[in-house]
Structure formats: structure tokens, C-alpha cells
Amino acid sequence: MTAIHKIIGAAALSGAFLLASIPLNGQGTVEVFTATAAVKTAAGASATAPVTITIDRKMSQVEADKLGAAFKAGGAAALRKALVGVPPTGTVRLGSGNPTPTRVTIERPTGDGRLLTIVTDQALFFVGAGAPGAKPQAGFDFAVVDLEVNAKGSGTGNLAPAAKLKMNGDAFVVEDYGAEAVRLTAVTKAK
């Protein structure tokens, strides 16, 4: 299994942690999004699962700056330490599984809507983990969701269900455990 590297919103995480963000309306309003997670392997196999993302709150710029500075200073371990005592920002639930608390939720404006970047401090699942010769799971202990939604609350997204976070300059780079990208389709704001 080969991990893929992607700079997810080099502007998304780095912009959220390191640059000024613009608070949008609904900062204190609970939002619920539903989507379908879809993955297709190079061999043609595919799978889908429903996803529910609940956002209880978005991070303030002060919180985001503190977490970004911690990560720059000491990597993932320092980020974990900085998250101690920080209340969850919501949850991500795959299928009928238990909700996983989200630890970071950041919102940035886009041309006709917004980009939501959501991070958990634990992996959601390992795509291909049961495959013969799959590499160890150590270090892939975050999950990252990017949702790009329009003003009406519909859109698309990406999910790195098991990821390592790294820095490349001021940009956060997500190293995904899976070789295949998990796409979020039919993203709809339910509440």
C-alpha cells in the first residue's frame, strides 16, 4: 500500500492556523452535514458509506493560532498536547458507527460559499488495512475532512480517514494512509 501526499488546502489548514480567518455567520450555530463517502480502487473495486458531520462550534482565530504554533514547534505530539482541555468541535460518524469527536473545525470563505476543514485526533478507519503487505498503521492517527459547500449548504469534499500531518513551509501536508482517495459526494446541510 502506498500512501499519497496531498497539500489539502495548503490554504486550508495553514490558512486556518496561521493566517487571519474571516468569521462567517452561524459561528455559534450547530450544523449537520450528510454525505456519501466513496472510494474506488485501481482494480475497480468500490465502496460507499454514509457520513454525518456535526459541527457544534468553529474554532476562534486565537485557538487556531495556538494549535498552529504548537504544531510548528513540536509536530503532531505538540499538537496533541495543545489539544488537551480543548473542547471538541463536533463529530464525524461513518455509517452506523459511533461518532468520533472532532478536535479542530475551521471555516474559510470561498467564491460562493465556504471551506470547512475538520480534524479528528484519531483515525476513523484504515482503507486497505486488511490487505496483505499493508504497511503499519503507526503514526496515521488523525483524520481530515475538507467540505466545500455553497451558500445553500450543498457541495463536495474529501476525507483522509487515517492521516499523518506534516509541515512544508507554512503549509500543512496530509499524508493519507490509503492509496485511493475517499471522496465525499452529495454533501448536504441537513440542519
In a domain, 58, yes or no: yes
54-91: per-residue pLDDT in tens? 999 999 888 888 888 899 999 899 999 999 999 999 99
Return the pLDDT at 129. Answer: 53
* Among candidate residues 136, 116, 106, 121, the one with its CA nearest the CA of residue 76: 121
Question: Which has more confidence, 130 or 32?
Answer: 32
pTM of the model: 0.81
In a domain, 22, yes or no: no
85-123: per-residue pLDDT in tens? 999 999 999 988 899 999 999 999 999 999 999 999 998
C-alpha cell belonging to residue 176: 493519507
* Average pLDDT for 27-41: 86
Whether the per-residue pLDDT at 6 is higher than 60: the answer is no
In a domain, 133, yes or no: yes
Q: Number of folded domains in the chain?
A: 1
Question: Which has more confidence, 117 or 174?
Answer: 117
In eight-state DSSP terms, residue 180 is S
Band of the pLDDT at 5, cuts 50, 70, 90?
very low
In a domain, 72, yes or no: yes
In a domain, 57, yes or no: yes
CA distances from 27 to 35, 50, 65, 139, 166 (A): 21, 25, 17, 32, 28
Highest mean pLDDT of the ranges 33-47, 86-100, 168-182: 86-100
Q: Which domain covers residue 75, as residue numbers? A: 4-17+28-189
In a domain, 23, yes or no: no
* Average pLDDT for 181-189: 93
